[in-house]
Structure 1
Amino acid sequence: MWMQKQLHLSAKPRGFHLITDEILQQLPDLNKFRLGLAHIFLQHTSASLSINENADVRRDLESYFSRAVPENQTYFRHILEGADDMPAHIKSVLLGCSLTIPICDGKLALGIWQGIYLCEHRNQAGMRSILITINGD
């Protein structure tokens, strides 16, 4: 059985945001899958997805990536949308725009301390869209 659904995530400020619950609220049919795979694809190039600890590692992650890919570098040419534009694209390349998560007994089979993060790399981004494709039975 296959299912595909586009979900919309509320606009968030720059940073790392746990979105597991926001995704699950928009996937009531997930419980129809006994086992399978959920592929989550972020349809944007200036944000990314990650799985990490569902506790407070967000500030440390944001601090690291802001330092690793700083704004206002003279060698950036893609800056028409602001100083955060090119760094956001680089961070997206580093972290990636998709995740594949197993489904077990109608639930995402995340580890006990794992959560899904939207890694928002723009200072003022809008709503983000993700496409979720589920295959299973």
Structure 2
Amino acid sequence: MRQAATTLTIATRGTGLVEVTAPVRHWVTEQGMTTGLLTVFCRHTSASLTIQENADPDVQADLLRFFRRLVAEDPSLYDHTTEGPDDMPAHIRSALTGVSLSIPVMEGEPVLGIWQGIYLFEHRSRPHRREIALHLLGD
């Protein structure tokens, strides 16, 4: 059994989904393990991770609209407002979507469905540099 770990730094443009499938897949392939378990972990409380469809961009637009309706950016609703009106809603959205993914690795590749991609979901309105930790355990 072997282990490998690294951190990816991802630049965001503000609220939205950034597909990170390619750099994750590339790193996994470089490790030379044929079978294992990949953990993908977002090191932030106002961004998250999700596996979503990567074929139709309407899916991303619909997700953004849904989360804006679900979690309002209304400072009168929250006590934590010192970092701006988008910060507490970003924390709530992150709690709803999660910061960690577990993805099986088979034949040296992350096992994803044909239309699935790995996304960093930026919940803040301004650009950020986000860190994603990758950990692979396998043979």
What TM-score does the superposition give when structure 1 sets the normalisation length? 0.93
Gaps of 5+ in 1: none
SS at 2:64's partner residue? helix
Paired residue for 1:49?
Answer: 49
Gaps of 5+ in 2: none
Deviating above 3 A after TM superposition, structure 1's stretches of 4 or more consecutive aligned residues are 24-28
Q: CA shift at 1:27, angstroms? A: 4.8
SS at 2:76's partner residue? coil
Q: Is the 8 A contact 1:9 1:22 kept in 2?
A: no
Q: Structure 1 residue 90 and structure 2 residue 92: aligned? A: yes
RMSD of Structure 2 on Structure 1 (CA): 1.4
2:80 aligned residue (78, 82, 92): 78
Q: Structure 1 residue 22 and structure 2 residue 16: aligned? A: no
Q: Within 5 A, what are the aligned runs for 1:58-73?
A: 58-73=60-75
Q: Is the 8 A contact 2:28 2:136 kept in 1?
A: no
Q: Deviations over 1:71-129 (max 9, x none)?
A: 01412011111110000000000000000001011111101110001111000131100
What TM-score does the superposition give when structure 2 sets the normalisation length? 0.92
Q: Is the 8 A contact 2:34 2:138 kept in 1?
A: yes
Give the whole-Å Cα distance in 1 for the aligned partners of 2:123 and 2:36.
31
Give the whole-Å Cα distance in 1 for the aligned partners of 2:79 and 2:4.
40
Q: Structure 1 residue 133 and structure 2 residue 104: aligned? A: no
Paired residue for 1:3?
Answer: 4
Moved more, 121-130 or 38-47: 121-130
Give the whole-Å Cα distance in 1 for the aligned partners of 2:12 and 2:129.
4
Paired residue for 2:103?
Answer: 101
Give the whole-Å Cα distance in 1 for the aligned partners of 2:77 and 2:104.
41
**Residue 79 to residue 124, structure 1, CA distance change in 2 (3 Å):** same
Q: Deviations over 1:17-46 (max 9, x none)?
A: 22211333455524x011000000100000
Identity of aligned residues (%): 42
Across the two proteins, how many residue pairs are aligned to each other?
Answer: 136
Q: Is the 8 A contact 1:18 1:118 kept in 2?
A: yes
Q: Is the 8 A contact 1:7 1:26 kept in 2?
A: no
